[in-house]
A = this chain, B = another copy of it.
């Protein structure tokens, strides 16, 4: 068989790679704007054949890092296609001082703040860029709250591809400046992320550019699964009990789910971890659907939260996210903006890790779960830290006060101590 095929998560129809690029042509016929995408595609491999080729012993001996380390289960054919901007795995931090603060003895932070463009989104962008190399596509377009666009802009710069990005004009200044520095053609949009998503889909159709839109391009989900593989390796080839995931569109959640699903299909883990979707109270479309028991995610109008990266009205990957939450007996936790800001300071002062609001939301949620006895103290829990606090300094400044300046004299210091 071919190295991989696609399967529609809604109707189950399978397609060879050569037939489709984005969503299932049948299911997506009924697609309405500003709703979760219908017909999102899942990448599948010849798992039975791979069981004999990919095992723990082989991985232990393997020196390759990044996507190529697990090349049998990524849709790339040549190591040289993968942008070198993306390097090794990110740290899985045994968060000792945060463990003590929260009374969670098996807590780890998966710290993606040091990725090349400062966010988790590089995991998706590197695969989209690798595919663009293999398919000889020259222009990549993306809609984004900010991180995905700065990520694909950086990845494109590093391999000499053109990049066009659409973002809400309200995106944090750091993310907009970053895209501009990477040389992307940047269109700030008078509107929300959801508006940017729709106009970028229209541009994809109009100009034939390759879309990196999250969930719309199935490679974004497939790329994000690398985080699950790294966690599994760092936990001595076992799965954790729970993974806390910042959730806006639901694509990181689906990526994590897909990673552990692949490991299970390969016989490399026995049980998938429970996935915990963490949403902001002001942007909780998936939480609403999860708690109401429906499969259909209604839009959450006027979504607003300090955690811009998960501020989404219509979660594009809502359908897969709900499947993953239910399939792993997971749950959905919402946190307030105050809880998020307070978690930024907590992670900073206990671990020296500086997280952007959406990233800190996972620790805010864990704190809430501890208070509600929704997690046992000895469970192995991984909180994803998906973006650097340097991405959103105004939010950080709300999380921790900068004192008034003093005269440069020791007396001024003594007066304050």
A residues apposed to B, CB below 8 Å: 83-85, 87-88, 91, 93-94, 97, 113-118, 153-158, 160, 166, 169, 173-174, 176-178, 180-183, 186-191, 195-196, 198-199, 202-203, 206-207, 344-345, 348-354, 388-391, 393, 396-397, 399-410, 412-414, 416-417
Contact = CB atoms under 8 A, between A and B. Distances in A.
Given A157-B351, A390-B390, A410 B85 contact: no
A417 B352 CA distance: 44
Given A154-B352, A348-B182, A177 B396 contact: yes
Contact of A353 (B116, B186, B187, B203): B116
Given A83-B352, A157-B349, A188-B405, 8 more contacts: A113-B116, A114-B114, A182-B349, A183-B400, A187-B406, A190-B408, A206-B414, A388-B390
A194 to B, nearest CB: 9
Given A178-B390, A397-B173, A406 B354 contact: no
Nearest to A389: B181
A160 to B, nearest CB: 6
Copies in the assembly, this chain: 2
B390 A352 contact: no
B349 A188 contact: no
Contact of A158 (B97, B183, B190, B407): B97
A186 B402 CA distance: 7
Contacts of A189: 405-408
Contacts of A207: 417
A349 B352 CA distance: 31
Most interface-central of A87, A182, A207 (chain B CB within 10 A): A182
A363 to B, nearest CB: 13
Nearest to A388: B390
Contacts of A348: 154, 157, 181-183
Most interface-central of A177, A188, A196, A348 (chain B CB within 10 A): A177
Most interface-central of A83, A113, A353, A412 (chain B CB within 10 A): A353
A50 B393 CA distance: 46
12 contacts: A85-B93, A85-B351, A114-B115, A118-B388, A157-B350, A158-B353, A173-B397, A178-B390, A180-B401, A182-B348, A191-B408, A199-B410
A189 B154 CA distance: 36
B413 A154 contact: no
A177 B88 contact: no
Contacts of A401: 180
A89 B413 CA distance: 38
A389 B391 CA distance: 10
A414 B182 CA distance: 22
Contact of A354 (B178, B195, B344): B178
Most interface-central of A115, A173, A181, A403 (chain B CB within 10 A): A181
A386 B188 CA distance: 30
Nearest to A141: B413
Contact of A410 (B155, B206, B409): B206
A86 to B, nearest CB: 10
